Amino acid sequence: MPRHQEIERKFLIRQMPERLTDFPHEEIAQGYLAVGPDGAQVRLRKKGDHHSLTFKRGTTPAREEREIELSAEQFGTLWPGTEGHRLIKVRYEMPWEAHLIEIDLYRGRHEGLAVAEVEFENEAMCTAFAPPDWFGEDVTGSARYSNIALAVD
């Protein structure tokens, strides 16, 4: 049975890691079709040739997440519905110890914003995580740094 929970922490980046551009990276276009008061959201994402629709609910480090793959045609049909609720970022994937750190560098009106996200298999691992010294403030659960807030800001 697939896991329908995302457990992650998000940090601002105090100092960029060395040789960041050596790591795999891709531009992501992301837009929101709907947002609910309980943290529920329906998101569209294009990352390379991969198109997806994701439903998320919750505001804690562990939240419900369900994703389905879309064809380029399906994505193109839905994308206009995200107008005014979009963002662009470049995501770098950097292995660190037993984790994969996803570093997002935002473009457009949020140029200069850099955040790191780390996903975990369970809440115990999430709680025990000791971030590298180049991480800054832990902004997990902060509405200000949520992608939806950045998309409509």
pLDDT digits over 15-51, tens only?
A: 999 999 999 999 999 999 999 877 789 999 999 999 9
Q: Which residues of the chain register pLDDT less than 70? A: 1-3, 153
What one-character-per-residue DSSP string does the chain give?
A: ----EEEEEEEEESSPPTTGGGS-EEEEEEEEEEE-TTS-EEEEEEETTEEEEEEEE-SSSEEEEEEEEE-HHHHHHHGGGGTTSEEEEEEEEEEETTEEEEEEEE-GGGTT-EEEEEE-SSHHHHHH----TTEEEE-TT-GGGSHHHHHH-
145 is catalytic: no
* pTM score of the predicted model: 0.90
Residue 40 token pair:
């529920």
pLDDT in the model for residue 3? 57
pLDDT in the model for residue 153? 66
From CA 96, how far away is CA 54, in angstroms rounded? Answer: 26
Active-site residue identified among 32, 92, 106, 145: 32
From CA 69, how far away is CA 75, in angstroms rounded? Answer: 9
Contact 13, 32 (CB under 8 A): no
